[in-house]
Chains A and B, each alone.
Chain A
Amino acid sequence: MTGRHFFFSPRRHREPTVSQEVETGRNRLMIASALFAAAFAVVAVRLVDVTLLGESGAARLAHSVGKTFHRTGRADIVDRNGVLLASSLKTASLYANPRVILDVDEAAAKLVSQLPDLDEASIRAKLKIDRAFVWIKRHLTPQQQYNVNRLGIPGLDFRTEERRLYPSGALSAHVLGHTDIDSRGLMGIEGKFDKLLRRRQAPLQLSLDLRVQHAMRQELSRAMTEFRAIGAAGIIMDVHNGEVLSMVSLPDFDPNQPDQINDDARFNRTTLGVYEMGSTFKIFTTAMVLDSGKITMRGGYDATKPIEVSRFTIRDFHAKKRWLSVPEIFMYSSNIGSVKMAMAVGTRAQKRFLGGIGMFQPTPVEIPEVGSPLIPARWREINAMTIAFGHGMAVSPMQLVSGVSAMVNGGIFFRPTLLKRPKGQSLIGKRVITDKTSEKIRRLLRLVVAQGTGRNAAAKGFLVGGKTGTAEKVVGRRYKTKALMSSFVGVFPMNAPRYVVFAMLDEPTGTKRTFGYATGGWVAAPVVGSVIKRVGPMLGVRPMDEEAPEVRREMAIDIVTKKTGKRRLASF
């Protein structure tokens, strides 16, 4: 009606026709159904996507059925046969919220009634501190947890923690070490591989054999008690790859109770302690001179007169006072003969030889407690002489054993290790003597056990060979005469050596049974003999007939007795 309505100019509202209505209706229906179709199309596409293409959350869940696994904060440690040595178990640790505790005295009294080793006064003090969190006692047993829970004291709660447990107890104390209350490794394998154990779930497999370890520990312990020694050490090593099957140091401790360890028990006499080994070193001197070619098994040296150098006199124990051939020098453990052997080779060559078998480095086994060997700062002639018969230089028993392994296995030096070498791993060793020299050394070692000072180590059927060693301990700057380090290093079976067995007693005293003697042959050799008898079958070494002609031939030595060349055949 007016000119104001520009946009909404009123139109004459005409009634839509029926067909137009139908048209509109149909259009709306089309749109609606198109929308529905689109929605269902999306559903269909999603269906295909979820069921056929790729991984969705639901599919991942479906595939994960049956794959639940149990995780611990620290990996297990097992021995070479899979026997469990160390494991982490869940325990409950009790803590309190002092701000919430209503009656401190009542709470303290109730707690002490269930956990008797807590001090009531200190608990009361703890519950009075104005803090939200205070530990009461960590690592409760399930029974203790139940009892404390039943007290119903508000403000107490439990936190799940893991505690390291050692099922074999003191048996592998020095090898495994122990952990602190937060399961952090403090010594031994636990200490060295602390980060690795926390990272991985697969168990760490050691080269240790628990059965063999038990035999060694028992026999050593028995000898230590019988001879009232202040300490003992024992090692068993596989000569073909340097794996340590047994490593015992006495006195030892229970790693399940780390707060009760005293310093003497903590000291690892096999790797940390360094000692002058005495006559067992003559194995190296003899191998050195034979390998150099400067002398043969038929040759020898004059041992009539003791050697005098500056103010020292080197003499033999039970001196024979005549010319001795190489086998005789070894059998009678002649110091004079050994010195002359070292002199024949020369100081520099001796140094090189000993360095090659790892005598100048701390032993590379995988524990933190390794001691550095004591070597003279200047290697003068007098040092070379004393080192020839095992004095003037201090090494750890583990170094000695890995050196002897190299001497008897054909002449290849392998790094000693506490971890089991994976099957099929190629071994890297260093050749230190020839195969022929190694064979000669084997015969000499057998001679000592068959006829010499090592007779007490002769476990019948296992063809044991070895060398005794008795050294006076150095206290301050002098040798303490009655304080001995008596040891025996044995190898078996001598015709094809597989294992080195070492035993050492610290300050043994002779008994009536040993006629007052406390030397290696009397106190340590029997330990090695009994251990070999027990563990030989376990390690798959079949007992043989030692008297059989083939065996005797393999171990035969011509022992020359006079410089003129008269021969005495020794076969055994």
Chain B
Amino acid sequence: MINRATFVWMVLAISAGIGLFVLKYDVKSMEGELARINQHTLENLEAVHVLKAEWSYLNAPARLEDLGRRLLSLEPVDTEQAASISDIPIKPPIRKTPHSPVEYSPAAGQVPPILATHRRAQ
């Protein structure tokens, strides 16, 4: 009769066999999938190559210039319009004259105008 140990070994052997074949077909289908994806990638790379060429064609300077002139309301930049940050003059400090037109009296509970705006902003 088949004793326990033999039964266990038989089960193991059969499952090993099944496992082997399941794995084998799994790998085979994965390989097929990989080949399909590679083919797809190649087709896409090919399409990208064509699109790059088309993009450069559409970006030809003559075409862009023509489109810009017709559709955008921009003019060529004049040299007088080009400047750098250092060209902007520094804003002179606000000088408080002795007779400041804005008087305030703290005693009356008023606050200096600048603080008032600051507080409002808070």
CA distance A210 to B64 in the complex (A): 13
Q: Which residues from 528 to 549 on chain A have a C-beta closer than 8 Å to any C-beta of chain B? A: 533-534, 536-537, 542-543
Contacts across chains A and B counted by CB atoms under 8 Å: 67
Interface string of A497-511 (1 = CB under 8 A from B): 000000000000000
Contacting residues, chain B, for A462 (C-beta < 8 A): 79
* Number of residues on chain A facing chain B (CB within 8 A): 31
A425 to chain B minimum Cβ distance, whole angstroms, is: 27
The winner among A165, A534, A543 for most chain B CB atoms within 10 A is: A543
Cβ of B59 < 8 Å from any Cβ of A?
yes
Cβ of A171 < 8 Å from any Cβ of B?
yes
Interface string of B29-52 (1 = CB under 8 A from A): 001001000100110011011101
Contact B34 A90 (CB under 8 A): no
Contacting residues, chain B, for A214 (C-beta < 8 A): 61-62, 65
Contact B82 A168 (CB under 8 A): no
Cβ of B100 < 8 Å from any Cβ of A?
no
CA distance A461 to B81 in the complex (A): 11
Cβ of A26 < 8 Å from any Cβ of B?
no
Q: Which residues from 80 to 114 on chain B have a C-beta closer than 8 Å to any C-beta of chain A? A: 80, 82, 84
Contact B82 A542 (CB under 8 A): yes
Cβ of A314 < 8 Å from any Cβ of B?
no
Residue from A84, A87, A89, A211 in contact with B61 in the complex, judged by beta carbons closer than 8 Å? A211
CA distance A68 to B35 in the complex (A): 11
CA distance A65 to B38 in the complex (A): 8
CA distance A461 to B78 in the complex (A): 10
Contact B79 A543 (CB under 8 A): yes
Q: Which residue in chain A gives the minimum CB-CB distance to B77? A: A537
Cβ of A167 < 8 Å from any Cβ of B?
yes
Contact A65 B60 (CB under 8 A): no
Contacting residues, chain B, for A200 (C-beta < 8 A): none
Contact B50 A89 (CB under 8 A): yes
Interface of B is mostly: helix
Cβ of A169 < 8 Å from any Cβ of B?
yes
Cβ of A13 < 8 Å from any Cβ of B?
no
B63 to chain A minimum Cβ distance, whole angstroms, is: 10
Interface string of A62-78 (1 = CB under 8 A from B): 00010011101000000
Contacting residues, chain A, for B54 (C-beta < 8 A): 167
Contact B45 A84 (CB under 8 A): no
Contacting residues, chain A, for B50 (C-beta < 8 A): 89
Contact A167 B57 (CB under 8 A): yes
B29 to chain A minimum Cβ distance, whole angstroms, is: 14
Contact A65 B34 (CB under 8 A): yes
A68 in contact with B79 given A83-B59, A167-B60, A214-B62 (CB within 8 Å): no
CA distance A90 to B79 in the complex (A): 45
Cβ of B12 < 8 Å from any Cβ of A?
no
Residue from A72, A171, A459 in contact with B49 in the complex, judged by beta carbons closer than 8 Å? A72
Contact A542 B60 (CB under 8 A): no
Contacting residues, chain B, for A218 (C-beta < 8 A): 62
Contacting residues, chain B, for A210 (C-beta < 8 A): 61
Contacting residues, chain B, for A461 (C-beta < 8 A): 79-80, 82
Q: List 18 A-B contacts (CB under 8 A).
A: A65-B34, A68-B38, A68-B41, A70-B49, A83-B56, A83-B59, A84-B52, A87-B56, A89-B49, A89-B50, A167-B60, A168-B61, A214-B65, A218-B62, A533-B79, A534-B76, A536-B79, A542-B82
Q: Hey, which bits of chain A sit against chain B, CB under 8 A?
A: 61, 65, 68-70, 72, 83-85, 87, 89-90, 165, 167-169, 171, 210-211, 214, 218, 459-462, 533-534, 536-537, 542-543
